[in-house]
Structure 1
């Protein structure tokens, strides 16, 4: 069962309050590196993006039963080794799916209707209606790549726009009333807009490259609210220049690291990056698609729910293995 939990991220008082109320011991460490943390005494770890939980760190975790990441991705955790050690991985994609979906639609409306450049022009005294004539979502075909929590939320919120919505996923039979599941060739052939909702894995790293882009039958708009490393910046810039991509909505960039720090401190920023950020065909936001007041609360609640459920399952498993345990055993740590 779970007794003692280490919290590695600031600004999540609800999680600590609720877990302590349930009888767990919660320690906080917001500054030390993994080398300085004695993880051996803990049954669980809660973090967001401050640290990378690698094999070396997990090896020292003799009692660890779970690693919980506040958010949707778990790429800063060595999930294969954690699984090998029998450690449960917890995340909270249900908590920010609606925020990501709304943000993606907002960025798409901005890029298709020239909202940002026309706003900037007016502030400079320029009134240009014809060159800022927009396009409607209605009647377009939207291709969603990755149909999990955020992909489904995006499709649902798009349903009122009278667009045709297609989805592709490596899992079969997950299409629904909001999106028809198709193969990638259909996505290439039909899509006017592509929205990425995939985890960052070996398979998705650099998946949006020029060879991929060339397979589309017509130019399209690209939305990426998943992970920056899924899109190769130099290939995207090339496609924007030659018209293979009409415009790009990017909440994430290839240059981010696991902790999502200020990318302008990154010493390997290339010319392509600066071409991207100065392009009037691109809308950029600083990895905030899932970062709303509401999503923070929902993700915190979801993390607590999953930890409590895991603890319940562990207790039940222990009782089955030890049928002679006292009657109050189940509640001894609550």
Structure 2
């Protein structure tokens, strides 16, 4: 351990960078960057070298083994809202706080979900490819009109409700399932999952990944949906049984799937979705905009400081 040799306590950032606005808040700490795609062994090596008081987590998992390699660790601060890559039980057992930048990327992720929905309904990607190949499909192509159709949202937190507002503005009927949501806006109709599967023309996932909802979309639940349903996922890949979704798209039960997250990230190569008609894919960038990058960084820094300052010794 080299913590005693450092002039400042160390915060490890599990990425290659952090917004300058966030860095400016952390001048009392030495920031150590783990690189673009850090893996747990890389972080463990850094932990033994620096004995960090905090992690700001953009990429990689934070495991019990990593916590044990960081005896001065006080807080694990997620640069975003999803904390499923952090072993929260292990953190709780060790008295380590876990925080998240909840809601600060809501606009960015909701816009990505809308972009995915529109791309699926309007065949944007396919028609673009056809046009570049010299085709003119006006006489044969029919897009899907979303106005008057039903969107089913699973998860009605900041992102889900932001997306609901957009869908309502397009004239869609908005139904949603979230056992924890309160004070829903008037145009959101709360329903149970059976109703959502049965009535939704499109389903968009906006919930955290938990042990209870892992592979929520699977062969059974997809079979209960309307034939030709559109599936959008800008939340967590583990919410979907990917093999079941592939079969549902190939069989026509799912018309299109717009996916921004996957069971294993970065996506394995080759992947079962590669070169498959009916899939529009993006590399988990729903929350990655210039504005969200700053907002998430600042929120993560503030959350980190709030915990560290609560542990600071009181001057005599």
Is residue 43 from structure 1 mapped to residue 53 from structure 2 by the alignment?
yes
**Aligned partners of 1:112 and 1:134 also within 8 Å:** yes
The residue correspondences of 1:212-251 to structure 2 (distance < 5 A) are: 212-251=221-260
Alignment match of 1:170 (pick from 179, 184, 188): 179
How far residue 221 of structure 1 moved from its aligned partner, in angstroms, is 0.6
SS at match of 2:109: helix
Computing the radius of gyration from Cα coordinates, the structure with the larger value is: 1
- Of 6, 10, 25, the match for 2:29: 25
**Aligned twin of 2:18:** 12
Q: Which residue of structure 1 aligns with residue 5 of structure 2? A: none
Partners in 1 of 2:147 and 2:72 — Cα distance? Answer: 54
> 2: CA distance between counterparts of 1:25 and 1:172?
37
Partner of 1:296: 293
Structure-2 change in CA distance of 1:34 and 1:125 (3 Å): closer
Q: Distance in 1 between matches of 2:140 and 2:242?
A: 27
> What CA distance in whole angstroms lies between the structure 1 residues aligned with 2:287 and 2:208?
14
Distance in 2 (alpha carbons) for counterparts of 1:172 and 1:148: 7
| 1:164-206, Cα deviation, whole Å (9 max, x unpaired) | 1111113253533352221112212211110011222222322
Relative to the length of structure 1, the TM-score reads 0.82
Displacement of 1:104 in angstroms is 1.0
Does residue 212 of structure 2 align to residue 203 of structure 1? yes
Question: How many angstroms apart in 2 are the aligned matches of 1:155 and 1:285?
Answer: 21
Alpha-carbon distance, 1:53 to partner: 1.6
Q: 1:234 to 1:156 in 2, by over 3 A?
A: same
SS of 2:208's equivalent in the other structure is coil
Aligned equivalent of 2:198, options 189, 200, 225: 189
Question: SS of the residue aligned with 2:117?
Answer: helix
Take 1:172 and 1:27, find their aligned partners in 2: how far apart are those partners? 37
* Matched length: 301
Give 2:268's aligned residue: 263
- Find 1:96's aligned residue among 75, 89, 105: 105
Contact preservation (8 Å) 2:44, 2:69: no
Structure-2 separation of matches of 1:200 and 1:131: 41
Distance 1:38 1:115, change over 3 A: same
Aligned to 2:153: 144
* In 2: Cα distance, 1:13 partner to 1:106 partner: 25
Q: Secondary structure at the match of 1:81?
A: helix
Using the alignment, how far apart are the partners of 2:17 and 2:31 within structure 1?
Answer: 14
Task: Confirm or deny: 8 A CA contact 2:34 2:42 kept in the other structure.
Answer: no
C-alpha deviation, 1:79, in angstroms: 0.7
Contact 1:40–1:64, Cα closer than 8 Å, also in 2:
no
Instruction: Report what 1:329 is aligned to.
Output: none
Which among 269, 273, 277 is matched to residue 280 of structure 1?
277
Give the Å deviation of 1:4.
2.5
**Helix, strand or coil: the match of 1:150?**
helix
How big is the shift at 1:33? 1.6
Backbone CA RMSD of aligned residues: 2.3
